[in-house]
C-alpha cells in the first residue's frame, strides 16, 4: 500500500516540473523581447530637459534716451554649451562668446537696443536636436 501511494505521488511531482519550466521559458522570452524592442526602438533614450541656471541682468542708461546697455551674466547653475543659448531681444539675438558657466557674460548695448524693436531680453536654451526651447530668464528693459 505504501509503495502504491509513493508511486502515485512521484508521478504527480514529475508533471509539475515541465509546466514550471515552460512558464519560466515563456517569461524569459517575453522579457528579452521587451528589452531588445526598447533598445532598437529608442524607447530607452531620455528626453532632453532644460538646464537649471540663474542669469543676472545689469542695466546702465535708459531705453528712452537711447543709452541703454544690459549686461547678461550667468550667475549660477549648470554649465551650458554656448551654441545652445541665445540672448534674444526684439528681432535680434546675441551669443555668449564661450561656454556659458558661472561668471560668463555678454553685453547688449544701446546700438543693438532701440525703443521700437526691444523692450525685453530673454535667455533662451534650445535642445541639441532643435525640437525644444525654453526661456531660462527674462528682463524688462527700463
65: domain CATH number is 2.60.40
In a domain, 96, yes or no: yes
What pLDDT, on a 0 to 100 scale, did the predictor assign at position 108? Answer: 85
d(C-alpha 93, C-alpha 34), whole Å = 45
Report the alpha-carbon distance of residue 15 to residue 8 in Å, rounded. Answer: 11
In a domain, 40, yes or no: no
Q: Is residue 82 part of a domain?
A: yes
Amino acid 80: pLDDT: 93
Instruction: Assess if residue 123 is contained within a domain.
Output: yes
Q: How many domains, the chain?
A: 1
- Residue 69 resides in a domain: yes
Query: 91 CB contacts (<8 Å, ≥6 apart)?
Result: 117
Domain that holds residue 70: 53-140
Residue 27 is assigned to a structural domain of this protein: no
| Structural domain contains residue 46 | no
Which residues, given as ranges, of the chain have pLDDT below 50? 115
Could you say which DSSP state residue 98 is in? S
Amino acid at each position: 500500500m505504501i509503495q502504491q501511494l509513493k508511486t502515485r505521488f512521484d508521478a504527480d511531482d514529475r508533471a509539475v516540473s515541465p509546466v514550471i519550466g515552460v512558464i519560466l521559458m515563456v517569461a524569459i522570452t517575453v522579457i528579452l523581447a521587451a528589452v531588445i524592442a526598447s533598445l532598437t526602438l529608442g524607447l530607452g533614450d531620455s528626453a532632453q530637459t532644460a538646464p537649471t541656471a540663474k542669469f543676472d541682468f545689469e542695466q546702465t542708461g535708459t531705453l528712452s534716451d537711447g543709452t541703454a546697455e544690459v549686461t547678461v551674466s550667468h550667475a549660477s547653475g549648470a554649465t551650458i554649451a554656448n551654441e545652445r543659448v541665445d540672448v534674444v531681444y526684439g528681432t535680434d539675438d546675441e551669443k555668449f562668446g564661450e561656454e556659458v558657466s558661472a561668471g560668463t557674460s555678454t553685453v547688449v548695448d544701446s546700438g543693438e537696443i532701440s525703443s521700437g524693436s526691444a523692450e525685453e531680453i530673454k535667455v533662451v536654451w534650445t535642445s541639441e536636436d532643435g525640437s525644444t526651447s525654453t526661456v531660462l530668464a527674462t528682463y524688462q528693459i527700463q
